[in-house]
Each structure stands twice: as structure tokens, then as C-alpha cells.
Amino acid sequence: MTQKRVLSGIQPTSDSFHLGNYLGALKQWVELQDGNDAFYCIVDLHALTGEIEPALFRKRTLASAAQLIALGISPEKSTLFVQSHVAEHNQLGWIMECLAGFGEASRMTQFKDKSAKGGADSARVGLFTYPMLQAADILLYQAHYVPVGEDQRQHIELTRDLATRFNSRFGETFRLPEGYILKAGAKIYDLQEPTAKMSKSSGSVAGVLEIMDTPEANTKKIKSAATDAGREVKFDEKEKPGISNLLTIHSSLSGRSIADLENEFEGKGYGDFKGAVAEVVVEYLRPIRTKALELLEDEKHLIDLLHEGAEKARVVASSTLSDTYKNLGLVK
């Protein structure tokens, strides 16, 4: 049996996913659904660790589903569902919290970064326990692979540590998952600040390329991307982070090698190069945006698809949870 289990999740925290989400993770989600048993989860419970506005939150969850389907996640090939529809995530999350040490949870960089922003005292407890819920997401499905961007590596390490600890203390229960993190694209940078990762919570709107943005808006963002000293189109992350980021974006979407692109733009200026990047990005995203908008016109259909996904997910999740409870000695 060569089929592997795949699990990943994404937060519905904005109206649109950005190109970092796509190149770091979602593109691999689409590829991995062929020949594997893939589970993809819109992690709405994780999103509660930030500010939410209920009507907008609901809209964003559905917009997330529409975008995932539009960019190629097939509800027939893979299991697409919403985290809060499968209660086992919370249930195993609690077990993971009881397994994790305060010290190791305190060392999670995502928690440290996010809590540092508003001051550690005002950070939510949910932000602290976030990685244990993420571990539950992964372990419930006995995933072999977890396709994510570089920023999630530490959470996957923690997941492996928790699984190892549980298995050795209470008997073999969980498969140890591996991160599926590509070299190119695992970290896409902000266009305005090419040393910071492209991020939904980043301050710079102009630096984030959104799937649902209009072609005009994305063209404008690319054309006004911060570039580096000199005028050579060359991949050099240290000296030329802006141009290197644009090269990565072009290469990942067009499938052309970086060397090939460097050759094509030899002797030409940054302006020509940015124009070419804009065209590749806009043409790539155009049908995805159109399809997502179309899907959003039939909300009931989208919700039905998500309910069907949750049914399928629950079968696997409840079986793992039941083994976990049994191995822990909880009375049935």
C-alpha cells in the first residue's frame, strides 16, 4: 500500500489567502491529494485565538472553502472539512495539553512572536495552547505527511515529541508525522519588506499578494515591490532579498528554473522583470479568483460539501480518539 495519509490546516483569518500560503503549502496540498489519502482542514478554532467579528468570521470560513476548491482541492479526491465540525479535535487537544510541558509550550516561536506584539500578559491562553490543538489535528488522522511552510516546522516537531511521549508511556497509539516542507517557496517574503514573511497579520497591505485581489491590485503591488541596489536580476537572498523573492514567485508559478529566468533578464532592468512577474502571477490567479467567486454564490452547496467532508473525517478521528481513551484507561 503506497497511499500515505496527509493532513494539513489553514486558518480562515482573512478574506483571502495570500501567495505565501499558496506556494508554501496549498500548492502541495493539491499535488498530494493524488495517490494519497488527504485530509484538509479549515482550522476555525485556531482562528479564535485572534480577534474575530462573527459575521465576518463566518464569511471568511466559507471564502476559505471556496478558495481551496477553486485552487484545486477536490472534495471527491480529498477530505475537506471545518475543524469545529469534528469535536474530536478539541477532545484530543485536551489530552495533548495534559501531555505537554509548560516549558516546551513557552518555547514555541509563534506564541512568543504573537504574544510579544500585545504584551505577554494580555495574550490569550488559547494562543499558548494553540500548538497542542494543532498536534491533535495531525495525530487524529495518523498522518504520514504534513504539507506546510517553514514557519510551522517547530509545531510539527512538538507534535512528534508529544506523540513519542504518549506512545512510550501509554502504548503505540499515534503515527509520527513528518513535515512536508519544500525548499523553494517554504518562505515567501513581504513585497515591501522582503526580509519579513508574507503574512496576513503583517502591517504592510501593499506587500501581500492575495488570491482574491483584483488583477489590477496585484499588478500594482508587484510593480511597486521594494527592490534592491544594483540592477541585475540575480538570485542572492542576502544581497538581493527583494529580487530573489520575486524570482522564487515567478519560478514556482511558471515552473521555469531560476537560472533560466536570470538568463532571460540579463541586461534588462528591474522594470521589465517586475512586469513579467506581474503577468505570471495575475494569469495564474485569475481563474482561481473567478472560480472562488462563482462557488461563493451557492453557499448551501459549499456548506453541504463541508458537512460531507466532516462525516468522512469523523470516522478516522473517532477511531483514533477511542484508542487514545482506551490506552489512557478512561472508562468507556
- Cell numbers of 88, please? 474530536
In angstroms, give the least distance from the CB of 153 to ligand TYM: 9
Q: Which is nearer to ligand TYM, 14 or 232 (CB)?
A: 14
Q: What is the DSSP string of 37-64?
A: EEEEEE-HHHHTTS---HHHHHHHHHHH
Q: Which of residues 105-144 bind ligand TYM (CB under 6 A)?
A: 134, 137-138
Nearer to ligand TYM, 255 or 267 (CB): 255
- Per CB under 6 A, 148 contacts ligand TYM: yes
Instruction: Point out the residues that are catalytic.
Output: 114, 197, 200
What residue is closest to ligand TYM based on CB?
A: 24
Rule CB under 6 A: is residue 277 a binding residue for ligand TYM? no
Helix axes 125-140, 88-99, angle to 10 degrees: 110
Spatial distance between the Cα atoms of 231 and 165, rounded to a whole number of angstroms: 53
Q: Where are the beta strands (DSSP E) in the chain?
A: 5-10, 37-42, 79-82, 145-147, 178-180
Q: Which is nearer to ligand TYM, 200 or 326 (CB)?
A: 200
Cα–Cα dist 2/83, whole Å: 27
Among 75, 149, 207, 309, interactor with ligand TYM by CB under 6 A: 149
Question: Among residues 6, 30, 32, 43, which is the contact residue for ligand TYM, using CB under 6 A?
Answer: 43
Residues 291-310 that bind ligand TYM (CB under 6 A): none
Q: Work out whether 46 is an interface residue with ligand TYM (CB under 6 A).
A: yes
Distance in angstroms (rounded) separating the CA atoms of residues 92 and 163: 12
Q: Residue 235: which region, alpha, beta or left (left: phi > 0; alpha: psi -120 to 50)?
A: beta
> Which one, 7 or 278, has the nearer CB to ligand TYM?
7
Helix and strand totals (H; E) in the chain: 14, 5
Site for ligand TYM in 6-25 (CB under 6 A): 7-11, 20-21, 24-25
* Residue 241 interacting with ligand TYM (CB under 6 A): no
Nearer to ligand TYM, 265 or 310 (CB): 310
Q: Which three cell numbers stand for residue 3?
A: 497511499
Residue selected from 124, 197, 231, 326 as contacting ligand TYM according to rule CB under 6 A? 197
Cβ closest to ligand TYM, residue 8 vs residue 115? 8
Sole binder of ligand TYM in the list 71, 95, 96, 186 (CB under 6 A): 186
Rounded Cα distance between 105 and 108, Å, is: 6
List alpha helices for 209-298, DSSP H.
Answer: 215-223, 241-254, 258-264, 270-295
Task: List interacting residues with ligand TYM (CB under 6 A).
Answer: 7-11, 20-21, 24-25, 43, 46, 134, 137-138, 146, 148-149, 151-152, 155, 186-188, 197-199
